[in-house]
Structure 1
Amino acid sequence: MEDSYVETKVEALQDNRTKVTVTVDAKDIDARIKKTYKDFAHKYNFPGFRKGKAPRPIIDNALGKDAVLATVTDDLVNGSYPLAIDDCGLYPVSKPEFDETDLVEGGKPFSFSFTVAVKPELELSGYDPVEIKLPAEGASDKDVDDQIDALREHYYSFEDCSAATKVKADSHIDLAMKATDDKGEEIPSLTTENRPYSLGGNLFPSEFDEQLVGLKKGQTTTFSIDMPDDPPIMLAALSGKTSKIDFEVEVKVVKKKILPEVTDEWVKETIGFDDVASMRSTIADSIAQQKSAMMPRIKENAVLVAVAERLEGEAPESMREEAESTLIQDFFQQLQSQNMSFDLYLAQQGMTPDQFKEDVKLQAADIAAQDLALDAWARHFGLEATEEDVLAEFAKSGAEKPEALKAEWRENGQLHLVRQGVSRTKAVMDLMEKAVVTEVEPGAQDEKKKPAKKASSKKAAKADEAQDNGDKKPAAKKASSKKATEKKQPEKQEEGSEAAE
């Protein structure tokens, strides 16, 4: 540690727990006691004595014999254990648990111990370059066709099918409907003489759609549906107001969805291009630019998934819980910034609260596994965070006095988070640079391998901005790991997909 009169002893326990014993020599204890008496003499009023002049017996008599010793003990423990964590190179994943200890005594050294859970040092099944698949650069004909098909979906129309056409699970229909509650009273919000309805849209429970499948124009069906515990959007306002809903539904007409034909005339009148060729050219350029901008992130996500699959062992529950907590916090912050309610989000995604929770748990487990896999890769290849790297993080955060902010983080026991972030970023960049990439054309039958462009190895860990006493703090997590803040919603990421940071 910085002060030579402080000694630390580290003992590895079971279940990734570490016991640290800190010993401070008698000289420092005496200096701390002397200073605290002087501080108390200035802080409190003692009758008959000027500020700062009260002797020790008077202070002990007024405040209690152990008041000063207890203050010194608390200040010493709280100020020393974060430094011990940093100096011992520990990476805690829980708060420390302190052993019982006596108060400091003048003229004697003082020792205290604490136990803390640390992240496990798991290994990978192999340290050879990971093999990943990425979309081919540029825009293929299929890419352009898919974009045009999506565009046509915005300009569809409907035409009536023949009277013999049966309703299917994905049909579009016009219906008339009468709905009553469990008291037999009509429900105005659902009752209608004519309403367009698309099956499979999750507006009603699936049982509702199932009752309509097979009907033809003019046919009627009556049925009842129990009010679901987690009602879809059309029934949400009725929650708690009725136990069931009775429906009488008539199919007025079955419709066919008609997409426009892509012709020069349609393109010019509707989209604003001169002809189909110019539209395809513009779309191709746009896709190529998007791919180019997204490729580093897609590649990063792909190597994270690949290296995590090599992890031998599981991330501790505390790491998964921390990742889950961060994901949820970031997610709700983003919902708030978009002025969207959680219920509306679930309705748009067609998810239940339980499905959302399970999704977040799965993603948190992925993130924790990826973090430990990056740690293993960094250890194996010696990708450590130097003091220069750490100081550079604070400088990049915009702090006016990087050295002072670094010292503050050390005193708070947080400096290991910055070291960890830097080493993980180095591991990500090393993985991306060494990765063996197969470029895949969408829909291609034969996949051809060719080397991908190497990512720059000079990328440094990004610094998140955190305000504290007027200074900005650097990122506590690796800059390259997935984050929910840039996601539209937390969801389990798949290889090659755009995740989030």
Structure 2
Amino acid sequence: MKITVTAEKPSDEKMAATLTIPAAEVDAAVKRTYKDIAKKYNFQGFRRGHAPRPVIDGIMGREAVLAQATNDLLNAAEPLMLEELDVTPVGRVDFGAEGADPELAVEGADYVVTATIGVRPSCELESYDAPEINMPPEEATEAEIDWQVNQLLSYQMTYEDVEEERAVENGDIVSVDVENVEGAGHLAGKNRLLALDGQQIPDQLQEGIVGMKKGEEKAIEWTRTHEHEGEEHSHTFSVKVTLNGIKKAVTPELDDEIAKKYGYDDVAAFRAAVKEEVEADKKTTLPNLKEDRVVEALGKALKLEAVPEAYQNEIFNELASEFLAQLQRQNVSLDMYLRARGVKTDDFLADLRVQAEERARQSLALDALAAKLGVEATEDDVRAEFEKAGVEDVDASVEQWRSEGRLPAIRDSIRRTKALDWLVENAKVNIVDEVAERAAAADKADAE
């Protein structure tokens, strides 16, 4: 199909375009529509596929035929228009005057129609200089080695009774017998170790356990409300809890005996192996961390009060799809995931909204930087993307994406990647032992 497109400069996240489809394309579309209708329906007195136009017009209506032909024309022309304009639409493309259906195509005449395309806002940055960021050193520091050693030693952790006679406090680890009374079979068990850290068990259950003393039995009940298909549903849970004791976690000190359990001769060999592991991990993680931090810093320089709702919703849907696909690969449902982590659906969605806004701001900031730098996405760049994806027939894939109007999204990604590469190359980096800083801050907080 041949088309002609002209567009105005975007305004208020909308691009107005004028699409012209030649009369020859219109005539061909109308002819195909009559042919398709004749094949699809039985018209009395005519073999399937042979009903003449006047008969079809008399039964179906001339306008219905032209409406179908017009719809087919617009469906075919839309991806070509997006490719011609090199624009990735936000939301659905609207044809015709605002709030009205587009006029019908007419045989023997060019079809001219207006299109309204939602687009990302064109933004500015407070500064186009590469940001200054902090990064961990490439070599493993003593603080990082200590942290990793403590993580490994935590697997040797044991729990001992707190000898002090006192009531349970928030933050304690407790041993309890939980008897299910109603709806809480998943919590029932003997000598269950529960961390009262606000994460492991429902808030109301934790509140009920706080204040109990060794040997005490208590009935605890709570209600959880959630929304499903627009309706609120409430579930009541009831348990009997017996407190067996308050526990404290005891992590062993690293010595040669512990080192031997991990297959090393002594503490020095163990720490050397940990150092090697930390540095090997850094070779993989530091480049990605640097990218994340420069993009995060750039996003903060974006001059935009609020991300447009349509664009934020689009990013939200992308994040949700990515996350659900990841769970599906692990054969885990969203409900299973949320229950395992004790996360409420509303809290999960709210967090996803925050992530969507942050990603949207960072994407817009990269767009702004790419425009300032004047980077382009060439045809060779596009081909390289398909080659990196391991596509067998690059030419065929590129043409398929072009015909579907999806190449503009590839070009957007290429321009952002080039802007990101510039950021990574030019960012000022301060090397900071962040693990040591966190440890010092934690020690200070404990002392206070």
Output the TM-score relative to the length of structure 1: 0.73
Deviation at 1:276, TM superposition (A): 0.4
Deviation at 1:277, TM superposition (A): 0.3
Residue type of the alignment partner of 1:345: Y
Separation of aligned partners in 1, 2:300 and 2:214: 53
- Confirm or deny that 1:89 pairs with 2:86: yes
Separation of aligned partners in 2, 1:223 and 1:50: 79
Residue type of the alignment partner of 1:77: L
Residue type of the alignment partner of 2:12: D
Contact 1:346 1:352 (C-alpha < 8 Å) held by counterparts = yes
Contact 2:20 2:110 (C-alpha < 8 Å) held by counterparts = yes
Compared with structure 1, are the counterparts of its residues 167 and 374 closer, same or farther at alpha carbon in structure 2 (3 Å cutoff)?
same
Compared with structure 1, are the counterparts of its residues 76 and 221 closer, same or farther at alpha carbon in structure 2 (3 Å cutoff)?
closer
- Confirm or deny that 1:283 pairs with 2:274: yes
Contact 2:138 2:279 (C-alpha < 8 Å) held by counterparts = yes
Contact 2:170 2:210 (C-alpha < 8 Å) held by counterparts = yes
Q: Counterpart in 2 of 1:129?
A: 130
Residues 148-159 of structure 1 mapped to structure 2, 5 A cutoff:
148-159=149-160
Q: Alpha-carbon deviations, 1:369-428, whole Å to 9, x = none?
A: 111111111110011111222233334444444334323322222221111111111111
Contact 2:194 2:200 (C-alpha < 8 Å) held by counterparts = no
Residue type of the alignment partner of 2:291: E
The percentage of counterpart residues that share the same residue type is: 33
Deviation at 1:440, TM superposition (A): 0.8
Q: Counterpart in 2 of 1:451?
A: none
Deviation at 1:46, TM superposition (A): 11
Give the counterpart of 2:403 among 400, 404, 411: 411
Number of aligned pairs?
A: 420
Query: Whose helix fraction is larger, Structure 1's or Structure 2's?
Result: 2
Compared with structure 1, are the counterparts of its residues 135 and 189 closer, same or farther at alpha carbon in structure 2 (3 Å cutoff)?
closer
Contact 2:174 2:245 (C-alpha < 8 Å) held by counterparts = yes
Q: Counterpart in 2 of 1:112?
A: 113
Contact 1:33 1:68 (C-alpha < 8 Å) held by counterparts = no
Contact 1:161 1:255 (C-alpha < 8 Å) held by counterparts = yes
Contact 1:18 1:118 (C-alpha < 8 Å) held by counterparts = yes
Higher relative contact order (CA 8 A, sep 6+): 2
Q: Structure 1: where are the runs of 5+ without partners?
A: 231-238, 446-501
SS of equivalent residue, structure 1 residue 79 = helix
Over the aligned positions, Cα root-mean-square deviation in angstroms equals: 3.7
**Range 328-337 or range 353-362, more displaced:** 328-337
- Confirm or deny that 1:305 pairs with 2:293: no
Residue type of the alignment partner of 2:107: E
Q: Alpha-carbon deviations, 1:143-174, whole Å to 9, x = none?
A: 11111111121112233333535533333343
Separation of aligned partners in 2, 1:391 and 1:75: 30
Contact 2:178 2:241 (C-alpha < 8 Å) held by counterparts = yes
Give the counterpart of 1:440 among 419, 429, 432: 432
Deviation at 1:228, TM superposition (A): 3.2
- Confirm or deny that 1:60 pairs with 2:53: yes
**Range 395-404 or range 336-345, more displaced:** 395-404
SS of equivalent residue, structure 2 residue 20 = strand
Q: Counterpart in 2 of 1:482?
A: none
Separation of aligned partners in 2, 1:377 and 1:40: 50
Contact 1:200 1:206 (C-alpha < 8 Å) held by counterparts = no
Q: Structure 2: where are the runs of 5+ without partners?
A: 97-101, 227-233, 438-448
Separation of aligned partners in 2, 1:34 and 1:194: 77
Residues 143-222 of structure 1 mapped to structure 2, 5 A cutoff:
143-162=144-163, 164=165, 166-176=167-177, 180=181, 195-200=192-197, 202-213=199-210, 215-218=212-215, 220=216, 222=218
Q: Alpha-carbon deviations, 1:310-332, whole Å to 9, x = none?
A: 11113321221111112112212
SS of equivalent residue, structure 1 residue 227 = strand
